[in-house]
Amino acid sequence: MPHWYPDFTRRQFIGSAAAAAAGLYGLSAGVSEAAIPYEYDGSAFKLAAPEPNPKSGGVMRYGVLNAPAHFDVHQSGTVSNMGTQGSMYDNLIRRNPIDSGQTIIPDLAHSWEIAKDGKTYTFHLRKGVVFHDGAELTSADVKATFDRIRTPPKGVSIPRTPLFSTVSDITTPDKYTVQFKLSESRPVSFMMGAFASGWNIIVRKKTLEDNNYSLRDIKDYPGTGPFRSVKRVDKEVWVMEKHKDYWNEGLPYLDGVEFYHLAPFSPELGRALLGGNLDYARLLDPVSAKKVKETDGMDSTAYFQSVIQAVWINNGKKPFDDP
């Protein structure tokens, strides 16, 4: 009887399983420990486009899956949340978009120190960062965010909780400093990758307290990100505008983004892009991608990503009920 699976060695299987787990947790492979400094002063760091004269203005129309089961990014693991909500929030630190995430750079924390024994991580926050509701970011918000992630309250399930299993305490020496104490050390690349996971967005302590630490039904809770919510029509469009008080001077370049709900690989997504109703689309079907490449003024690219596309089989129906 023919079999349909490649012959994996044990080493290959473990490697592929580890890569899949990293994707689930929002980690990236390939960042070496040597690439992450134990002390980094990024107080003058600002992110900017690699082009010398980037243009500002305009609204981007983006076609992407946008029908989340809930709105709690911490509890999620799907592009249906991150594809839209990601633009509303920032992280403590982040992966560098300019080198496809191969290095870790400052975000809300501009600098850090890592103890030589690997058991204390100290982050220094930017001053003057404001949430969309005008409140200033402080270390209390970072502590509340990561306390919730590492020890979720009853009824809250966060896929990335295991990443912080050795974090025994989070302290706030002052308004702009936060320290993570570990009961035992972990590889620096692992811990910094966990902090930099795009899913670990920083939210207000007050937001968590006001909503009993569950954000599943709160579609517009304030972030510090480059865009803020204006209007959302379920399974149609989510309209966002520039956060005019964004801390990273000069960003965002766009005045706004309109996220249109269109299913991945669907003919509707391809037609909308080719028909000029979208400026950008994610997960095009192969036929549409080929037509895009053949169209003047348009382009498409294929890239690897830590996302699992799965088909679940119903073993209760024929012929899949036959073991």
Q: What is the third-level CATH fold of 10-44+57-261? A: D-Maltodextrin-Binding Protein; domain 2 (3.40.190)
Length of the chain: 323
Contact in structure between 219 and 230 (CB atoms under 8 Å): no
* Tokens encoding 129: 């960062």
| Domain parsing of the chain, residue ranges | 10-44+57-261
For residues 191 and 313, the model is more confident at 191
Identify the helix (H) or strand (E) that includes residue 180.
strand 177-182
pLDDT tens readout for residues 25-44? 555 544 455 589 999 999 99
- The pLDDT assigned to 5 comes to 32
Estimate the crossing angle of helix 286-293 against helix 267-274, to 10 degrees. Answer: 10
CB atoms within 10 A of CB 54: 11
- Say which residue the tokens 């620096």 belong to: 188
Residue 172's SS3 state is strand
Residue 87 CB burial class (10 angstroms; 0-12, 13-18, ≥19): buried
Among 120-124, 176-180, 281-285, which stretch is predicted with the lowest mean pLDDT?
A: 281-285
Q: What is the C-alpha to C-alpha distance for residues 33 and 285, in angstroms, rounded to an integer? A: 37
For residues 27 and 114, the model is more confident at 114
**Of 43, 139, 136, nearest to 92 (Cα)?**
139
| Res. 12 pLDDT band, cuts 50 70 90 | very low
Confidence (pTM): 0.85
Pairing of strands 256-261, 59-64: parallel
- The pLDDT assigned to 1 comes to 34
pLDDT at 2 over 90: no
∠ CA 301-309-291, nearest 5°, is 30
Contact in structure between 187 and 117 (CB atoms under 8 Å): no
pLDDT at 4 over 70: no
CB atoms within 10 A of CB 71: 18
Mean pLDDT of the chain: 89
pLDDT tens readout for residues 241-270? 999 999 999 999 999 999 999 999 999 999
pLDDT tens readout for residues 295-310? 999 999 887 666 666 6
Q: Give how far the C-alpha of residue 55 lies from the chain's centroid of Cα atoms, to the nearest Å.
A: 25
The mean per-residue pLDDT over the stretch 20-26 comes to: 48
pLDDT tens readout for residues 78-105? 889 999 999 999 999 999 988 888 899 9
pLDDT tens readout for residues 198-213? 999 999 999 999 999 9
Q: What is the C-alpha to C-alpha distance for residues 61 and 74, in angstroms, rounded to an integer? A: 26
- DSSP letters, 104-162, are EEESSEEEEEE-TTS-EEEEEEPSS-B-TTSPBP-HHHHHHHHHHHHSPPTT---TTGG
Q: What is the C-alpha to C-alpha distance for residues 157 and 159, in angstroms, rounded to an integer? A: 7
Among 50-59, 94-103, 273-282, 297-306, which stretch is predicted with the lowest mean pLDDT?
A: 297-306
pLDDT at 323 over 90: no
